[in-house]
Structure formats: structure tokens, C-alpha cells
Structure 1
Amino acid sequence: MRAVFGLVGLVVALAIVGVLAKKQLAATRAPVSSLQLPAAPGGAAAPAPADSVRAQGQQVQQQVRQQMEGLMQQARPMPDDPK
């Protein structure tokens, strides 16, 4: 009986890990809306030229740079250790 509960617990844990892994993989494949190109007039899908891809890469780099600069400007909490 003890072995049955152990086996059932193992299967349940494996199922939970599988569901979480599936959700995580689905989240990494979702398109990022801020990097999508605007729709072409008339609803036709135009191929992305190399310049727009380069511009998107530069935009992402600029966003990361701004976020890092903002984080570097935040004050760190000082420890309360009297000496």
C-alpha cells in the first residue's frame, strides 16, 4: 500500500512538472507585441526588410540600456549594524 502511494505521488509530481514545462515553453514562443511591425495598408503582409530588423534590435538594446541605467540609479538599502 505504501508503494502504491509513492508511485501515485511520483506520477502526480511528474504531471505537475509536465504542465508547468508546457506553459513555460508556450510563453517563450509567444510573439512580443512591442516588436511587431505595423500592418501594411490593405491588409497585405509585407516581408520585413533588413533595416526594420536592425531597428528592432537597436530598439531592444536601447530599452535594456534604459532599464539597466534606471536600476543602477536606485539606492541600495544600507544594513543596520551598529559598530
Structure 2
Amino acid sequence: MATDRTTITANLKTLVRRGLVRIQGDAQDRRIRRVMLSDEGHTLLGEAYPLWQRAQDALGQQLGKIDQDAFRAAVNALSA
């Protein structure tokens, strides 16, 4: 994932405030933090996934016969 640390931190703070994730320190190594979905986060992910899948399917239909893996690789290369 090509995202800098400050962006990840800011996004995680928002998700924590909304109760969608929780951050837990490691008992043996204080430098390690584990990010976990809360119950509400799991519920929201379950609701969002079918919508994401429909969008992926619609994109596949729009792209038609072109090599979709090559297309996605090209898009990823542009954003790197």
C-alpha cells in the first residue's frame, strides 16, 4: 500500500472515533500495534462488500473483452 504513515494514522483515528476499529498494543513489544475491526466494523464491512462486488462486476462488464488484469496493473502503475 503506497500510503504514508501520517495518512494512515489520521484515517485510523477517524475509524477509531467512529467505533469501527480498535487499536491494541502488543503485550510483549510496545512498538507493535494491532488494528482490529470492532463488531460494528464487521457489520459495516458485511454490508459494504456486496456493494463493492457489484461495482467490480459492473466494471468488468464495461471493460468487456480487454484484459482486466492488465488494465488494473496499468492503473496501479499510474498511481505508484
**Given the two structures, how large is their TM-score scaled by the length of structure 1?**
0.34
Higher normalized strand content (fraction of residues):
2
Higher normalized helix content (fraction of residues):
1
**Given the two structures, how large is their TM-score scaled by the length of structure 2?**
0.34
